[in-house]
Chains A and B, each alone.
Chain A
Amino acid sequence: MFYRENGQFKSTYASDQQMLPILQDRIFMAALLVFAFGAVPFVVSDYLFLSLVIPFLILALAAIGLNLLVGYCGQISIGHAAFMAVGAYAAYNIALRIPQLNFLVVLVLAGLIAAAVGVLFGVPSLRIKGLYLAVATLAAQFFTDWLFARVKWFTNYAHSGSVQTAPIEMLGWKIDAPVEKYLFLLGVLVVFTLIAKNLVRSHIGREWMAMRDMDVAAEVIGIRPVYAKLTAFAISSFYCGVAGALWGFVHLGSWEPLAFNLTLSLNLLFMIIIGGMGSLLGSYIGAAFIVILPILLNQAPQWLGMRVSTAMTSHLELMIFGALIIFFLIVEPLGLARLWAVGKEKLRLWPFPH
Chain B
Amino acid sequence: MTGMADGRAQRIGEVVLAVEGVSLSFGGVRALADVSFDVREHEVRAIIGPNGAGKSSMLNVINGVYHPQQGTIRYMGREYHDMDPHEVAASGIARTFQNLALFKGMSVLDNIMSGRNLKMRSNILLQALRIGPALREEIEHREVVEEIIDFLEIQAYRKTPVGRLPYGLQKRVDLARALALEPRILLLDEPMAGMNMEEKQDMCRFILDVNDQFGTTIVLIEHDMSVVMDISDRVVVLDYGKKIGDGSPDEVRANQAVIDAYLGVTH
Cross-chain contact B114 with A198 (CB below 8 angstroms): no
Q: How far is the CA of A17 from the CA of B130 in the complex (A)?
A: 11
Inter-chain CA distance A345–B180, complex, in Å, is 30
CB within 8 Å of A: which of B87-138?
88-90, 94-95, 97, 101-106, 110, 113-118, 120, 124, 127-130, 134-135, 137-138
> Which chain B residue shows the least CB distance to A220?
B85
Q: Is the CB of B105 within 8 A of A220?
A: no
A173-210 residues with Cβ-Cβ distance < 8 A to B are 195, 198-199, 202-204, 206-207, 209-210
Q: How far is the CB of B87 from chain A (nearest CB, A)?
A: 9
CB distance from B255 to the nearest CB of A (A): 32
B117/A207 in contact, CB under 8 A: yes
Of the stretches A31-39, A156-164, A221-229, the one at the interface is: A221-229
The CA-CA distance from A198 to B85 in the complex, in Å, is 28
Judge whether B208 is part of the interface by a CB distance below 8 angstroms: no
- A sample of 17 more A-B contacts (CB under 8 A), given A209-B105, A220-B65, A220-B95, is A13-B143, A13-B146, A17-B138, A203-B113, A204-B124, A204-B127, A207-B117, A213-B104, A213-B105, A214-B103, A218-B103, A220-B63, A220-B101, A221-B118, A222-B117, A224-B86, A225-B86
Chain B 136-176, CB-CB to A under 8 Å as 1, else 0, gives 01110011001000000000000000000000000000000
Residues on the B chain within 8 Å of A335, using CB: none
**Which residue from B84, B97, B103, B130 sits with its C-beta under 8 Å from A209?**
B103
**Is the beta-carbon distance between B114 and A221 smaller than 8 angstroms?**
yes
Instruction: Select the residue from A12, A17, A202 with max chain B CB neighbours within 10 A.
Output: A202
**Consensus secondary structure, chain B interface:** helix
A235 contacts B by Cβ under 8 Å: yes
CB contacts (< 8 Å) of A17 on chain B: these are 138-139, 142
- By a beta-carbon cutoff of 8 Å, the part of chain A in contact with chain B is 12-14, 17, 195, 198-199, 202-204, 206-207, 209-210, 212-214, 216-225, 231, 235, 278
Are B86 and A195 interface neighbours, CB within 8 A? Answer: no
* Distance to closest chain A CB from B223 (angstroms): 22
How many A-B pairs with Cβ below 8 Å?
A: 109
Say which size band chain B's interface belongs to.
Answer: 35 or more
- How far is B105's CA from A210's CA once the two chains are assembled, in angstroms? 8
Pair A219/B138 contact, Cβ less than 8 Å: no
**Chain A proximity of B64: nearest CB distance (Å):** 8
Q: Across the interface, do A198 and B103 meet the contact criterion of CB distance under 8 Å?
A: no
A202-B134, A219-B85 as given contacts; A210 in contact with B128, CB under 8 Å: no
Q: Which residues of B contact A210 (CB under 8 A)?
A: 103, 106, 114
Structural contact, B142 and A221, CB atoms closer than 8 A: no
Known A-B contacts A198-B130, A203-B120, A217-B101; A223 and B139 likewise in contact (beta carbons under 8 Å): no
> How distant is the Cα of A207 from the Cα of B122 in the complex, in angstroms?
14
Q: Which 10 A-B pairs have the closest CB atoms?
A: A222-B89, A217-B101, A202-B127, A213-B103, A222-B118, A219-B85, A198-B130, A206-B114, A203-B120, A13-B142
- B65 touches which of A12, A14, A216 (Cβ 8 Å): A216
A222, B86: Cβ atoms under 8 Å? Answer: yes
**Contacts of B97 on A, CB cut-off 8 Å?**
217, 220
- B-chain residues with CB within 8 Å of residue A231 when the two chains form the complex: 124
Give 13 CB contacts A-B under 8 Å. Answer: A14-B139, A198-B130, A202-B134, A203-B127, A203-B138, A209-B103, A212-B105, A213-B105, A217-B97, A217-B101, A217-B103, A220-B65, A223-B86
